[in-house]
Structure formats: C-alpha cells, structure tokens
Amino acid sequence: MNNKNRKYTAIAVVAIIFGMISLCYAAVPLYDLFCRTTGFGGTPVDANQISDTKNTENLTINVLFNSDVARGLNWDFIPTQRKQVVKLGENNLAFYKAKNSSRDEITGVATFNVTPPKVGKYFTKIDCFCFEEQTLNSGEEVEMPVNFYIDPEIAIDPNTKDVKSITLSYTFFNSSEEKQHKGKIKKNSIE
C-alpha cells in the first residue's frame, strides 16, 4: 500500500470516528425533540402544541361499575350505582356493598380491572378496598368506598380521545380458604 492510500484511509477512519462521536452527542437532544413532538415513548405532548386541544374543564365521561364474586365465596357483592357521569379531573366517590350470605365468618380480598385497558393510566384510584382483606361475619353487610378521578389528559391523548365510557370492575375472592390451606401440601393421586 502506498503512502497516498494510507493517507486517504487514515483521513476516512478519522472522519468516520468523528462523525460517530458527533452523532452520539446529537442523539439525545434529537431523540428528546422527537419524543416531545410526537408523544413517543410516553412523553406527554405539550398541550399548547396541539391545534385541536379542548378545554377539558367541562368534559365528562361515563364510568360504569361492575362486580363479580369468585367461586367459593358466598357473598353478595354489588355496586350501589351502575353508572356515574364524571367530570375529568374531579374527585369522585362510588360505593360497593358486600354481604356475607354464609353461616360462617369469611375473609375476602378484591382485585380490580379498568377497561378499556388503554385508559388505565388515566384512571387514578385515591382510596379503595382492593387488595385489602375484608372480614365479614355471617349476615354482615358493609359499604366499601372507592375514591377516584380521571386525568384530563385522557381527552388530549390521540389513543383515548374516542373513549366515552370506562368500566371499573372488582372481583372478590375467598382468602379464608387460602389461610386454612397455608403450608399444607396438596397430594396428587398418580395412577
């Protein structure tokens, strides 16, 4: 290889290395600009940049309430109302009733679900009875509150603009049975 080729190769290698280092430094601000402009990667889009931004102060959405009881739990469990019309950004309070219809004291625990799934990040529960054990005596009935709000950003997000109703669903499971069997080994019969 002659000196002229070595000189061009060295210049090309230095130029490529310099270009790669420059791109590395420019990548972060360029990616940040891209995310702020498009909302990509969960970055909130600046509401002032959106031409069709609505005043979310008076917007409402229907919240539907659902309840289920898993097998093995002899409870009656219902929402006190099936639907609320909710203003975005305002705190709301809903109630569910649970009644132990068995002859025994039973402990239950509830899980929740919000549908459609794409609105889950905008539905905020401030206080609720989910994931806490609830013990009811035979025939005992209680009201359980749920305090929540819906983030007004739901009206700006292009993926959720079309949502007119949200369903909050709770399912109660019998946790007394788990306590009775805790530490016991289940024997499987092998034939």
Residue 158 lies in a domain: yes
> In the predicted model, is pLDDT for residue 123 greater than 80?
yes
Same domain, residue pair 99 and 168: yes
Residue 159 lies in a domain: yes
| Rounded CA separation 79/58 (Å) | 26
Tell me the pLDDT tens digit for each residue of 137-166.
Answer: 999 999 999 999 999 999 989 999 889 999
**In this predicted structure, what is the pLDDT of residue 24?**
79
Same domain, residue pair 84 and 13: no
Same domain, residue pair 154 and 85: yes
The pair of three-digit structure tokens given for residue 72, joined into one six-digit string: 């093995």
| Rounded CA separation 115/186 (Å) | 36
The distance of Cα 90 from the centroid of its chain, to the nearest Å, equals: 18
Residue 64 lies in a domain: yes
125-137 burial: b if 16+ Cβ within 10 Å, else e = eeebbbeeebebe
Chain length of the chain: 191
Q: Which has the higher per-residue pLDDT, 94 or 31?
A: 94
Count the Cβ atoms, other than its own, within 10 Å of residue 29.
9
Which CATH number does the domain housing residue 121 bear? 2.60.370.10
CB–CB of 146/64 below 8 Å?
A: no
| End-to-end CA, the chain | 78
Same domain, residue pair 121 and 153: yes
Into how many domains does the chain fold?
A: 2
Same domain, residue pair 14 and 63: no
* Domain region containing 14: 3-42
The distance of Cα 7 from the centroid of its chain, to the nearest Å, equals: 59
Residue 163 lies in a domain: yes
Same domain, residue pair 33 and 70: no
Strands 60-69 and 165-174: parallel
